[in-house]
Amino acid sequence: MGGTVSANHDRANLLEVRGLTKIFGTLTACDHIDLNIAKGEIHALLGENGAGKSTLVKMLFGSLEPNSGEIFWDGKPVKITSPGVAKKLGIGMVFQHFSLFEALTAAENIALSLNDGSPISTIAAKARALSFSYGLPLDPDSLVGDLSVGERQRIEIIRCLLQTPQLIILDEPTSVLTPQEADKLFETLERLRSEGKSILYISHRLEEVKRICDRATVLRHGKVVGHCNPREETAASLARMMVGSEVKAVVRAPAEGIETAPALLEIRGLSRKPATPFAIPLKNINLTVRAGEVIGIAGVAGNGQGEFFESVSGEVLQQDAGSVRIRGKDAGAISITGRRLMGAAFVPEERLGHGAAPRMKLSENLLLSRHATDGKAFVGSGGMVKNGSVYSAAQRIITAMDVRKSAPDPEAAALSGGNLQKFIVGRELDRKPSVMIVNQPTWGVDAGAAAHIRQALIELARSGSAVLVISQDLDELFELSDAIAVMHNGELSKPLPIAEATFEKIGLLMGGAEPGHAEHGMEVA
Amino acid sequence: MDITVNILLTIATAATPLLIAAIGELVVERSGVLNLGVEGMMIMGAVGGFGAGYLTGSPWIGLLAAIIVGALFSLLFAVMTLSLATNQVATGLSLTLLGLGLSGMIGTSFVGQPGVRLPNLEIPGLSSIPVVGKLIFGQDPVFYISIALTAAVMWFLFKTRTGLTLRSIGDSHTSAHALGIKVIRYRYLAVMFGGACAGLAGGHLSLVYTPQWVENMSAGRGWIALALVVFASWRPWRVLAGAYIFGAVWIGQLHAQAFGIPVPSQFLSSLPYLATIVVLVLISRNKRLTMMNTPASLGQPFVPDR
């Protein structure tokens, strides 16, 4: 291992960044960024979506080339021209969107990032030993495609540690973990810090940052807007620094008379065989969402939420028509358009390519999803599209959801993730659907936009619709839901009323620890 | 007895060009590139091999020329799809069309000329052992190359670090790039290896199989090789099995037609295709194994953002 570690934290800078700038076309993603990371500290990088965090990190790891600016490593100027150079310097990275190969084993994945020629079996043994010493047990011979997201992240971390880096960059590492897994990760990070390693920690979860980070650098619109000690700040003051203005708290009016309200969405004994070898089978899922309520479905990614959404939205039809009922009618064998005509609306997880066609304009995307339900308004006689009314409806949604864009009717791909998500959610809300099903409503969306989307969903429910939200973000579910159910390994727990739900209880269910499923398994449709 | 040996020998000769071209394409596809230009590279190899052999009088120089022509022709595809990120399907199809046309033009003066033939291996003593002597020690040199090539590719892909890297690129080029693997460089080399193999397969056609130049003499073998790779779910030994099943049924149905079996000849001619598909589909039943071996990024252009 390189550089010596002084016990008294002399705060020598391991990495120093001066005036780093990256321009994409007309957008300055990073504008003269200064950043210092000391030896043996956990440094937080905070900022909204599109603030330039990922761009900055990619430049530090050599996957993007800065337009100008300097980087100093251990006091010496360096040019990081490729990830290989970054690795040689001692920079390791754990990616937000995992950079693992699904068809290969854990050991093969690790071997690929190590440049030594040692045989796979040696690497597997090393990985196993290291993973146990950090309390992140790992089976090197398992196939990545078979592993849960939490386990995949372990591979990423172990792979990074085997390169013995001095600086470890973690991009949103806890967004896919259960609270218990996150605790384990924090222990690991604290141990690494005590070994003198530096960590650059990117997260939008402010409570975490307050808990483990020593210093924070805050970015907004590509510029550094402040440095602080997160321990001395509150979550609200950190959010203010990130957003530049006060973030409105989501208000959830108490739901009344839910028990007697009509059930608008009913799932009865929904089962599904895995469609692909890496997919999760659904096992006898039962759930009722009544008019006026928001039900949240928590769970670690890859536990069947995607399969569940496909079945409920009608992307995959069910054999048993009664397994999905919308407004009291069997819908299991009805197509997605048919279900929309019954009053349901759906927002899938993937924004680009699923929720919206990337190369089509917003107005065209609006027409694609609503040509049937709004046939009268959007399509005239002889099947001709009424471009004018589609355009004005798109503008109405853009205004209602405060979608920020560069052109009057831009292509979907030209919008930032958060703004596109606001448009997609707004497109469905605009119809005032009586059943709304959303998968990951605010994944990768900044705090301001997320609050806006959440508030809109609650208001839809309170106006008499049934809202079902699938999310991995527990904070979000606690903010939104009247009751939370947990999906684990294709099974859905009984919904826990929000008054009884705690992070701990939900976390245990997410880990599959508690057999909460048995009680509702007997329910008869 | 002699007839059986002769049939077995012709099966090997029919299977060899398919095997070589398919093994080359397998490496290309394992790196995540779909080159539909196999037919074009093969015919270019055939005309190049014939021409060089005819002009120099040496079949060995012809074979070498076939390999080089195939590799150079695939370089055109590589520059287009890898450096300029064009659509792989369209580029591959045009490579085939270009190859067929260009080879016809180059080969006008070769039509009807006597070619040179690569001699069969003759090991005094061994080759004259009854039955096995001819089969094991008396075939044409390209046959031995094809078997060695299959074994070498198997070893390379599954036992070496470079092979692992190549497979990882085929699985996810973005992940590979993030790890600092030189995706484009690997793909260039893979495509050129595939081109060299297709060229060699073409050389086998014009220097061993039928030592002469006939326009369109590859006769769709490039397409069969492409299909073999997919139906063999990107596994070398299955490609070998597929090529030999195809060769066996092909030769078998020719003999059946010669004997005048009262079955429509069109049906017999379609048998090799049917049999190969059925057998390979049957051995690829294991979905999980197929998923594991399918290059997930196949056919997607890769543009690293800088």
pLDDT of residue B135: 78
Q: Walk along chain B (306 residues) and give the pLDDT tens digit of each residue.
A: 578 888 888 999 999 999 999 999 999 999 999 999 999 999 999 999 999 999 999 999 999 999 999 999 999 999 999 999 999 999 999 999 999 999 999 999 999 898 899 888 877 777 777 777 777 878 899 999 999 999 999 999 999 999 999 999 999 998 898 888 899 999 999 999 999 999 999 999 999 999 999 999 998 999 999 999 988 889 999 999 999 999 999 898 888 888 888 888 888 888 888 888 888 788 777 777 777 788 988 988 888 766
Question: Measured between CB atoms, which of B164, B288, B304 is closest to A112?
Answer: B164
Residues ≥6 apart with Cβ < 8 Å to B253 = B268, B269, B271, B272
| Cross-chain Cβ contact B178/A145 below 8 Å | no
A88 Cβ contact list (under 8 Å, min separation 6): none
Q: CATH code at B158?
A: 1.10.3470
Residue B254 to residue B14: CA distance in whole angstroms:
12
Q: Is residue A1 part of a domain?
A: no
Neighbours of A215 (CB within 10 A): 17
Which token pair is A511? Answer: 């880990």
Structural tokens at position A299: 């769970």
A467-511: pLDDT as tens digits? 999 998 888 899 999 999 999 989 999 999 999 998 888 888 888
**B296 to A104: CB separation less than 8 angstroms, yes or no:** no
| pTM, 2 dp | 0.76
**Which residue(s) pair with A15 in the sheet?**
A37, A73
Confidence of residue A520 (pLDDT cuts 50, 70, 90): very low
Look at residues A182, A157, A180 and name the one whose alpha carbon lies nearest to residue A169: A157
Asked whether residue A172 falls in the same domain as residue A317, the answer is no
Q: Is B291's CB within 8 Å of A83's CB?
A: no
Structure confidence at residue A516 (pLDDT) = 47
User: Per-residue confidence at A349, pLDDT binned at 50, 70, 90?
Assistant: confident
| Same domain membership, residue A459 and residue A331 | yes
Is residue A63 located within the same domain as residue A191? Answer: yes
Segment A100-124 mean pLDDT? 86
| A514 within a domain of the structure (yes/no) | yes
- Residue count (chain A): 525
pLDDT of A145 reads 80
Interface of A with B (CB under 8 A): 62-65, 82-84, 86-87, 93, 95, 98-104, 108-109, 111-113, 117, 120, 143, 145, 276-278
Average pLDDT over residues A68-88: 90
Does residue A126 form part of some domain?
no
Q: Which helix (H) or strand (E) holds A200?
A: strand A198-202
- B28 to chain A nearest CA, in Å? 17
Chain A closest CA to B162's CA: distance in Å? 9
d(CA A40, CA A192): 8
Instruction: Say if A273 falls within a structural domain.
Output: yes
Cβ contact, residue pair A145, B172, below 8 Å = no
Q: What is the mean pLDDT of residues A420-445?
A: 90
- Same domain for A445 and A414? no
Nearest CA in chain B to A100: B175
* Single residue among A243, A274, A298 that ends a domain in this structure: A243
Tokens of A252: 């959830």
In a domain, B301, yes or no: no
Residue with tokens 């006597």: B114
Number of structural domains (chain A) is 3
One-letter-per-residue 3-state SS of A496-517: EECCCCCHHHHHHHHCCCCCCC
Could you tell me which residue, A304 or B97, shows the higher pLDDT?
A: B97
Residue B196 lies in a domain: yes
Q: How far does Cα B15 stand from its chain's mean position?
A: 10
* CA dihedral sign, ordered A97, A99, A104, A106: negative
For chains A and B, CB pairs below 8 A equal: 70
Name the DSSP class of A481: -
Q: Indicate yes or no: CB of B292 within 8 angstroms of CB of A108.
A: no
Instruction: Report pLDDT digits (tens) over A317-329.
Output: 998 999 999 999 9
**Could you write out the three-class secondary structure of A86-117?**
HHHHCEEEECCCCCCCCCCEHHHHHHHHCCCC
**Reported ipTM:** 0.81
Q: Which of A523, A505, A522 is nearest to A514 (CA)?
A: A505
Q: Do A276 and B178 lie within an 8 Å CB cutoff?
A: no
- B250: how many CB neighbours lie within 10 A of its CB? 22
Q: Which helix (H) or strand (E) holds A266?
A: strand A263-272
Out of A108, A113, A277, name the one closest to residue B179 (CB).
A113
Residue A170 lies in a domain: yes
Q: Is residue A405 part of a domain?
A: yes
In this complex, do B172 and A102 lie within 8 Å of one another by their Cβ atoms?
yes
| pLDDT value of residue A9 | 43
Is B141 within a domain? yes
Determine the structural domain holding residue B143 and report its residue range: 2-293
Q: Which one of A385, A411, A432 terminates a domain?
A: A432
Residue type (1 letter), A375? G
Total domains in the fold of chain B: 1
A114 domain residue, yes or no: no
Under 8 Å between Cβ of B33 and B81: yes
Q: Are B77 and B35 in contact (CB under 8 A)?
A: yes
Q: What is the mean pLDDT of residues A290-294?
A: 94
CATH number of the domain to which A236 belongs: 3.40.50.300
Contacts of A476 (CB under 8 A, 6+ apart): A296, A441, A442, A450, A454, A469
Interface test with chain A among B174, B175, B287, by most A beta carbons within 10 Å:
B175
Does residue A151 lie in a domain region? no
Asked if B179 lies within 8 A of A112 by C-beta distance, the reply is yes
3-state secondary structure A292-332: CCEEEEECCCCCCHHHHHHHHHCCCCCCCHHHEEECCEECC
- B202 assigned to some structural domain: yes
Do residues A63 and B178 make contact, with C-beta atoms less than 8 angstroms apart? yes
**Structural domain span for residue A17:** 13-90+164-243
**Amino acid A287: pLDDT:** 95
Residues of B with CB under 8 A from a CB of A: 161, 164-165, 167-168, 171-172, 174-181, 287-288, 291-294, 296, 304-306
Distance, CA of A229 to CA of A214 (rounded, Å): 6
Strand extents, DSSP E, B111-191: none
Q: Which comes out higher in pLDDT, residue A12 or A108? A: A108
Which residue, of A208, A225, A243, is where some domain finishes?
A: A243
A184 and A266 belong to one structural domain: no
Which amino acid is located at A12 in the chain? A
Residue A436 has pLDDT above 80, yes or no: yes
- pLDDT for residue A4 is more than 50: no
Residues A169 and A53 in one domain: yes
Return the number of other C-beta atoms located less than 10 Å from residue A441's C-beta: 24
- For residues A418 and A448, state if they share a domain: no
Question: Looking up tokens 């490593």, which residue turns up?
Answer: A73
The helix/strand/coil state of A42 is strand
A22 and A29 Cβ atoms separated by less than 8 Å: yes
Residues A458 and A520 placed together within one structural domain of the fold: yes
* A439 and A517 co-located in one domain: yes
Q: How far apart are CA A445 and CA A237, in angstroms?
A: 19
